[in-house]
Structure 1
Amino acid sequence: MALVRQQIQRCNEEREQFRGTSGIQNLTSDKQGLQRKFLQIEREFFQLRECFDELIRNRDETLCGSCRKRIICYITTANTNNSIVDKRVRSPLATPRYSNESLSERELRNEVDELRGEVSTLRDTLNEQIGLFADWEKERIKILKSNNLPSDRLGLLSTNDASSVEMTSQLSRDLKILIDGKSYIVSHNRLI
């Protein structure tokens, strides 16, 4: 009986060893299958990278989907039967864009409005300065007249040279102050 038990034990050990080997064979075959898939994915990845690099190099020549030109990239892949298949991968179409004209027109209108506001601010500032200058000139003329100096000898900033006299007479012709309190520059009968 001891012999029979030893034979049964040996058979069980051989059976366990055999099961282990088939498990090892299964794991080895799974490993080889995964390596094949990994190599396939790696090849596809490098082909995609090359295609992407080519697109970047040729981006000036590439047109978007709205221009109806499609960019085609050739990728060779291995299917499950390990036969090589040529697939065409198309780039995604560009999203529709709003027309540039309406955007630029709005921007131009806003810029024109800003410039109009700036011009009116500058005009108001200039008119205030002209008003101050006119008031200062009137005061200066009154002071000089009260000192009995002839008006043709009036000069700017109390100088007595001939160019100052000419400038003063030209300014008095060009500068007119209206009764409504606002001042304007009128040069040769033109409103500036």
Structure 2
Amino acid sequence: MGKKIEEGEGKRIGEPGRKIGEIERKYSSFAMHSATGRSPFSIVYQKVPNHAVDLVKLPRVRGISIAAANLAEQIQEVQAEVKAKLKVTNSRYKQATDVHRKDKAFAVGDMVMVLLKKERYPASTYNKLLPRKYGPYKILKKINNNAYVVDLPTSMSISRTFNVVDIFPYFVSSESLYPADVDDNSSLLHIRQKIVELAQNFILKGE
């Protein structure tokens, strides 16, 4: 916003930045915020800025000032209105976010995979080539729905407490990686032959 104001001022008066502060003050005084339904000035001072007509001195009259008598009540009404607006706005934001949210819950004894971010590693031990997920590990303790203690090896020197967003369920595959009629030795031999063939083809192409 400041950049746009500066560009606008520079085009009009040829002196960019000279009146930016004044324009920003005017903007914050009159611009209505979408979340609160009011301008920042009206929230703090309970009214919009004075205009030229408002600065005219009025004759004094006897009695109690109505503005002074209702000031406390007016402040409470404005605060209650702003809180209600913010509550409605936050509720709308929450509904939009919850559409893409998936609740995850684990029990003690479940086998899980954990995501290790760069921040969790001890200093000078992180490497980009390290795996991002580790496991499976057992859930040792449930602190609450958002935090769990995982049975990490002590040699990793990493805190065992994880947020639920960094924990993923571990699924054991019941299907074999190889066809049922092929044993492990023959499958390994087949893989080795394929590697040799690829290497020979690469060498021939290089020549």
Give me the TM-score of the superposition, normalised by structure 1.
Answer: 0.24
User: Which protein shows a greater Rg?
Assistant: 1
